[in-house]
A and B are shown apart, each in its own frame.
Chain A
Amino acid sequence: MLDNEASQDEEEYLNSHIDSCIVCFEEYNLEKEIRELLRSKVNKHQVPGELVTSIRNKIIESV
């Protein structure tokens, strides 16, 4: 459900279940938060400019 991979029926069932079950509600929120955390905080690396240049040069050479 978090990944939008549940069918509509499954989605409906899970939604109504989460509304009434505290365990699953907490679990769902925790997983959602972890995903947010990953997206916003995992370190990102800048592509080295010379890598892009090097790839383009090698392609041009090969054409």
Chain B
Amino acid sequence: MTKDQETESGSYRNKYDEVEKVQIFEQEFMPHIDSMYNFAYRLTFEEDESKDLVQDTYLKAFRFINSFERGTNAKAWLFRILKNSFINDFRKKSKQPSKVDYQEVENYYNSDDVDEKNTVDLRVETLKDMMGDEVTNALNALAVDFRTVIILCDLEGFTYEEMAKILDIPIGTVRSRLHRARNLLKEKLSSYAQSMGYK
């Protein structure tokens, strides 16, 4: 697999030499480490797990750097690797398999009232009074699939198309998942607001 790469098969057209690899790594990958670490933290909620996940992702990214096209969206490429590592390696290892998450997701996907009107009573003024921890807790209380689309869209500013690639789902699913995620978040925020006596 190593020496055959020099063949003219075309499958390794963008093969980089060692210097280029390190250059790409430093210039295109490392600048995203802050976002990557925060994404990992919002998935795992743990510092050690996040560190492992990010390191794992960067080592994979370097190992498979030939499948990265220079000048394309490195951040989306890295996010996709991290998300897959999380699903394949980390979620399996975790002591609490996220059964509940899936249940919640299933229930939502199977519910008939797709376009249920917003019944949540939440006021803009109430939101303005909320503290960082309350907002963070509301986000963290969402099932991982819903949490992920909010992170990608609202915190990281990815487009629907980029999200579809990162998550390996159709763009229509991105749209509907995001819609439900936002409704769920509204519910969480609203119940936080109530329990904090904002209303």
Contacts and interface: CB of A to CB of B under 8 A. Distances in A.
Interface of A: 3-5, 27, 29-31, 33-35, 37-39, 41-45, 47-48, 51-52, 54-55, 58-59, 62-63
A33 B154 contact: no
Nearest to B124: A33
Contacts of B123: 30
Identify whether the interface residues of B are mostly helix, strand, loop, or mixed.
helix
B21 interface: yes
B85 interface: no
A45 B41 contact: yes
B132 A45 contact: no
A41 B130 contact: yes
A48 B189 CA distance: 30
Chain A interface SS verdict (over half): helix
B185 interface: yes
Interface residues of B, number: 44
A58 B38 contact: no
Contact of A55 (B59, B118, B139): B59
B118 A27 contact: yes
Interface in B9-38: 18, 21-22, 25, 30, 33-34, 37-38
Given A30-B122, A33-B128, A63-B18, A55 B58 contact: yes
Given A29-B124, A44-B38, A52-B33, A58 B59 contact: yes
